[in-house]
Amino acid sequence: MPAITIALFDTDTPLRALREEIRARLSEVLERGVYILGPEVEAFEREFAAYLGVRHVVGVANGTDAITIALRALGVKPGDDVVVPAFTFYASAEAIVNAGARPVFCDVDPATRNVTRETVSAALTRATTAIVAVDLFGSPAPIPEIRELGLPVLEDAAQAAGAALGGRRTGSLGDAATFSFYPSKNLGAFGDGGAITTDQDDVADLARALRFHGSRDKRTFEYVGYNSRLDEVQAAVLRVTLPHLDSWSERRRAAASAYAAAGIEPYVSPPAVLPGAEPAWHLYVATHSRADEMIRGLAEQGIGARGYYRVPLHRQEAMAPYAPSAGALPATDELARTNLALPMSPALGPDQAAQVVAALAALRPVLSSSARSSPGPARA
Ligand SMILES: Cc1ncc(COP(=O)(O)O)c(C=O)c1O
């Protein structure tokens, strides 16, 4: 197997130019000697709120806690049902169980890979008190339409920092939204980190208390909460990288356009985006009916590719108590089998995109084009 020449993602190259600035900021934190809930977190919360156009940002320890805390802050109680797509990272559903509620899995649109108003509607029960809509792979979900269903919508924007829909940034579309700053995310820290964003004062206030053991004054405890804070080191790094997020997202969009310009379409089914959406392309995920063979064939040509969520959430062992009836989520099952993520990063130039497409073309005699995956419309 040759060495990988075009990696699936590249978080290092974009950060290289910022190393000196990050070192300087980290040494300021060291000099100050304040590591938890200090001026860096406060400033980052203000700056990220301004970037997103929301009233509040609450920094927490990771994107999973962010979902659990945000759901509780939105009023989700033990015994409630919360709708969530089955095609997403495990944490989107795990966090619902950790909030004491029951995940109800819904299907996704096979072309956008995201939930729709219809797939969510089909999963609503009398006990549903909230909906988790994921901006999967950095592509905005149709959250304004889903909000028309009249239930609180939590936007899981973990993968979508830098995206927008209808001119509004992802992370500002739901009643509240959550982010992960895991290092490989589009806005990544140097360890774990996360945030809750909202325009609603009461939701932000409760989330702030819940991240600190359910306390507002650090002496009296109104709720059983969490020890879940963004730390000063991570906030300091994020304050350096946030001003670059838009240019990195532009470069990711240019890379996606370069795939189209290089003629990727006959070889795989590329991802579709909603009208008015500007995806952040956390991952560029195509489909092909023989995806795993294609991934192996690309690796043999030095190109990183990977299938995501091959075992979707409703088929994970820990989610067995919440699994719907067999065959209930056909688009999820099909996507889980046929998806393949192709290289994507702000550092991926048009020549590399063309090289990936050439590698796909070279596989054509082996994997006939008639085997392209076209999973058809979503059915819930
Ligand atoms: C869609 C989605 N939701 C939630 C999370 C959880 O974030 P974290 O790893 O920071 O807990 C992730 C992270 O991978 C994610 O991709």
Among candidates 287, 276, 286, 291, which has minimal Cα distance to 344?
286
Using most ligand atoms within 8 A of CB, pick from 67, 88, 136, 159 the residue to mutate for ligand 1: 159
3-state secondary structure of 339: strand
In degrees, to the nearest 5, what angle opens at C-alpha 248 toward C-alphas 246 and 251?
A: 110
308 ligand 1 Cβ < 6 A: no
**Rama region for 98: left / alpha / beta (φ>0; ψ in -120 to 50; rest):** alpha
Report the relative pairing of strands 277-278 and 176-180 from DSSP bridges: unpaired
Cα 225 from Cα 210, distance rounded (Å)? 4
Instruction: Indicate the helix (H) or strand (E) that contains 278.
Output: strand 277-278
Ligand 1 pocket, 182 CB below 6 A? yes
Residue labelled with tokens 């590399």? 352
Helices 350-362 and 245-261, axial angle in degrees (round to 10): 40
| Structural domains in the chain plus CATH codes | 12-243 (3.40.640.10), 245-371 (3.90.1150.10)
- Report CA(31)–ligand 1 centroid distance (Å): 32
- By C-alpha distance, which of 61, 65, 123 is closest to 313? 123
8 Å CB contact between 288 and 269: yes
CA–centroid distance, 354 to ligand 1, in Å, is: 31
State residue 373's pLDDT score: 53
Count Cβ atoms below 10 Å from residue 136 Cβ, excluding itself: 30
Cα(125)–Cα(286) distance, rounded to whole angstroms? 32
Residues 6+ apart with CB under 8 A from 66: 60, 95, 158, 178, 179, 180, 194, 195, 196
- Token pair in block for residue 84: 């969530």
Radius of gyration of the chain (CA): 21
Please answer whether residues 157 and 170 qualify as being in contact, where contact means their C-beta atoms are separated by less than 8 angstroms.
yes
Q: Which of 89, 185, 283 to mutate to test the pocket of ligand 1 (most atoms within 8 A of CB)?
A: 89
- Taking the C-alpha atoms of 242, 246, 252 and 254 in order, what is their torsion angle to the nearest 10 degrees? -160
pTM to 2 decimal places: 0.96
Q: Mean pLDDT of residues grouped by 10 in the chain (380 residues)?
A: 88 94 98 97 98 98 98 98 98 98 98 98 98 98 98 98 98 98 97 98 98 97 98 98 98 98 97 97 98 98 98 98 94 98 97 98 80 44
Asked if residue 194 has its Cβ within 6 Å of ligand 1, the reply is yes
User: How far separated are the first and last CA of the chain, in Å rounded?
Assistant: 41
Task: Report the pLDDT value the prediction gives residue 230, as an integer from 0 to 100.
Answer: 98
